[in-house]
Amino acid sequence: MMSESTRYIAGQEIKPGARILHPGNLSSVVPQVFAVCDAVRPDRWHGEVTVLGRTVLKTEAHDTNDQAARAAQQQFVDKLVQLLTE
């Protein structure tokens, strides 16, 4: 009878369902969310999401910076999910 020893990669046991994070170029890709002021009195803001320094999404105008940033984040997540599940 052959006995099997437990194996590990990056401190994680190798077994069915194990997920090992692979360090690659995408590991450092972090989307950044910005609120950009378009006008004052009254304040108008739009949201932007950038990836690797490139703007990939802009929202419509909002009354507050929080609304603009939240809208940008939600639209980015929605588009990403749509892209990856089609």
Task: List, for residues 45-70, the tens digit of each pLDDT value.
Answer: 999 999 988 999 999 999 999 999 99
Class at the top of the CATH hierarchy for domain 27-85: alpha beta
The domain locations on the chain are: 27-85
Q: CA separation (Å) from 76 to 14, 23, 27, 47, 48?
A: 34, 24, 18, 10, 9
Q: Give which of 31, 40, 43 is closest to 68, Cα–Cα.
A: 43
pLDDT at 28: 75
Q: Specify the pTM.
A: 0.72
**The two structure tokens encoding residue 85:** 């599940």
Q: Give which of 57, 53, 16 is closest to 35, Cα–Cα.
A: 57
Radius of gyration, alpha carbons of the chain: 21
